[in-house]
Chains A and B, each alone.
Chain A
Amino acid sequence: MATRSRLARRAGQLPRVGPPTTQATPAGTSRRKLRRIGLYVLLIAVAALFIGPFLILLSSATKPASQDVFGFPPDLIPRPPVADWFREAWTTIPYARFLLNSLIYVGITVPIYLVVSALTAYPLARIAFRGRGVFFMLFLSIMFLPGELMLIPRFLVMSQLGLTDTFASVILPAILSSLGIFLLRQAFSQIPDEIVEAARMDGANEFAIFWRIAVPIVAPTLAVLAILGFVSVWNSFIWPLVTLTSQSKFPIALGIAYLSGVSGTDVRGLAAGTVISLVPVVMVFLFLQKRILNSMGGAVKG
């Protein structure tokens, strides 16, 4: 602590300095270049750690039957790459059905999630009423009721409602999240008062202000939540496992678990099936990565 304040004080006294001029000399330049190459080597090594397993998966999925999946030393380049195992995975289990189911789950859950979160967050940010803080805490408390602990009682609630083994039972628990309400409340409260007041003077009621003015302004936050919602619904596994019994309603993650349980599935076929399940979510991520990555920081800073 002492060091920090001393340094901080010193920072205030010192004139701003540019990069030291000595580094412009040839020796300095080459040392800097060397350091940069070293850093890239490190960055690539770490990247290998994070995507290596996926690359090995892809390599296993495209190896011909004549080539061993395992062995010392590892033989990772498929010779030649084949697509047979994708076909095999596609036909061993009702793969298309599982993909379609996941799309349905995402397509229904995410829009409802956005609307419910926005409606709930709006008054928490923009309308003064008694108990506002209490309601906010109530919705934040969802964080401490994690899905894993709710499996049993939710299963019983669904049975009481006669909803087990239905699409609705998969969708309903995913509609409310504390993160959605938290981020949207933040976004709504940053809207300048003047904009809202101007609309109010023109006679707009609260819902019109919400729908025509506030929602368009928080569109970037909604986009982030839509992406996060997509990822979480696409990957959801445990709750569908508990509530669903008919295979025809399985989402893709359950499909993969099912594929790995089917006896006689070739290790290459399992790899291929897993690769297919990763494609949609990775595509979404690649296209929208900037937004996703920036949101994670923003969510925590806020």
Chain B
Amino acid sequence: MPGLRGRVVGQHWYTPYAFMLPGLLMYAAMFAWPAVIAIQLAFSDYNIVSPVRFSGLDNFSRLLDDPRVWIALRNSLLFVVMFLPLTVVAPLFLAMLVNLKLRAIQAFRMLYYLPVITSMVAVAVAWRYVFNREGVINWVLSLVGAGPIDFLLDRHWALPTVVLLEAWKNAGLFMMIYLAGLQAVPPDQVEAARIDGANSWQRLRHVIVPSLRPTFAVTLILSMLEAMRAFESVYVLTRGGPLDSTLTLGYYIWSKAFEDYDMGYASAVGLLLWAIMIVLAGFNLVVTRRRDG
């Protein structure tokens, strides 16, 4: 690579900027400018009809007194807590399964990945047939004398059901991330452990999991951010109901902004979500860095 001083033939000072111009323009128009507006709105009162009015910290003091914010925050955190084992732990076992040297294993990888590429709307419709009061799952429950359960209409079941669906849809993605990690584990070490008499649990615990540390860093942050901002699944499955039992921060922002047209307040809640995501990401970075050291 040439140094900063010696200019390469055919390159001018403006060459890199000329290349990046379209990208920078898009960044400015679709990310930077909206981000500035979001921050500005969080300190304003705006309902689309009347002009934006600066309101200082009003939105934030309102936020502290708004019980629905706390419900949404609790639901979002519950979402994360339930989502983590389903996307950070379970897909590791899926990956180990499809990492076996078996005929047609690629076909199974493909089938497990299929929900990842389908739209959330289609997934929601498909599962509605499964979760129906007279659907397959309630039939299985009836065999053991339980149910029927209206999964998406029951205050206690709705949130776990949404989490389960979201995890089901994303499991294939996490599986492929782990598969890449597994394929980078030196087979010599696993083999040596086997010869030393380590059973499969010990091999997993002492050989495979430690070498997957960088992969865990990726899946952990991905899973947390995905769960924290869960919105589309809530929108198509429950619209935050019943009785706010699936009201997540993401959904609350949407409903305040586009149902109540309370744009300023919605932006303030948005900043709260944004701050939580950045804290989670930072926390993740610190934890995984320290483990590496």
Residues in A neighbouring B2, C-beta threshold 8 A = 128
> CB of A87 within 8 A of chain B?
no
Pairwise interchain contact A74-B139, C-beta atoms closer than 8 A: yes
Of the listed stretches B21-29, B53-61, B64-72, B79-87, chain A binds B21-29
A302 to chain B, nearest CB (A): 10
B16, B196, B258, B267: which contacts A242 (Cβ < 8 A)?
Answer: B258
> CB of B130 within 8 A of chain A?
yes
CA distance A28 to B213 in the complex (A): 35
Residues in B neighbouring A282, C-beta threshold 8 A = 114, 117-118
A1 to chain B, nearest CB (A): 7
A52, A150, A256: which contacts B130 (Cβ < 8 A)?
Answer: A52
Residues in B neighbouring A79, C-beta threshold 8 A = none
Pairwise interchain contact A3-B206, C-beta atoms closer than 8 A: yes
Pairwise interchain contact A300-B125, C-beta atoms closer than 8 A: no
Pairwise interchain contact B253-A53, C-beta atoms closer than 8 A: no
Residues in A neighbouring B118, C-beta threshold 8 A = 54, 235, 278, 281-282
CA distance A152 to B210 in the complex (A): 43
Query: Chain B 95-127 against A: per-residue CB contact (8 Å), 1 yes, 0 no?
Result: 001101010011011111111011111110111
CA distance A52 to B119 in the complex (A): 16
Query: Chain B 2-24 against A: per-residue CB contact (8 Å), 1 yes, 0 no?
Result: 11100011110101110111111
Given contacts A11-B191, A296-B180, 14 further A-B contacts (CB under 8 A): A36-B102, A50-B114, A124-B20, A142-B27, A176-B30, A176-B31, A204-B10, A206-B15, A238-B232, A260-B125, A282-B114, A297-B176, A300-B181, A301-B184
Residues in B neighbouring A47, C-beta threshold 8 A = 108, 111-112
Which residues of A in the span 34-56 have a Cβ within 8 Å of any Cβ on B?
36, 39-40, 42-43, 46-47, 49-54, 56
B3, B19, B129, B195: which contacts A17 (Cβ < 8 A)?
Answer: B195
Q: Give A2's nearest chain B residue, CB to CB.
A: B206
Pairwise interchain contact B27-A139, C-beta atoms closer than 8 A: yes
Query: Chain B 175-202 against A: per-residue CB contact (8 Å), 1 yes, 0 no?
Result: 0110111011010110111011010000
Residues in A neighbouring B33, C-beta threshold 8 A = 153, 157
Main secondary structure of the interface of A (DSSP, over half): helix
Pairwise interchain contact B16-A119, C-beta atoms closer than 8 A: no
Pairwise interchain contact B41-A152, C-beta atoms closer than 8 A: yes
**Contact surface of B with A, Cβ cutoff 8 Å:** 1-4, 8-11, 13, 15-17, 19-24, 26-27, 29-31, 33-38, 41, 94, 97-98, 100, 102, 105-106, 108-115, 117-123, 125-127, 129-130, 132-136, 138-139, 142, 168, 171-173, 176-177, 179-181, 183-184, 186, 188-189, 191-193, 195-196, 198, 206-207, 210-211, 215, 218, 225, 229, 231-232, 235-236, 250, 253-254, 257-258, 263, 266-267, 270, 273-274, 277-278, 281
**Contact surface of A with B, Cβ cutoff 8 Å:** 1, 3-4, 7-8, 10-11, 14, 17, 36, 39-40, 42-43, 46-47, 49-54, 56-57, 60, 69-74, 115-117, 119-120, 122-124, 127-130, 132, 135, 138-139, 141-142, 144-146, 148-154, 156-157, 172-173, 175-176, 181, 200, 203-207, 209-210, 231, 234-235, 237-238, 242, 253, 256-257, 260, 267, 270-271, 274, 277-278, 281-282, 285-286, 289-290, 292-293, 296-298, 300-301
Residues in A neighbouring B1, C-beta threshold 8 A = 128
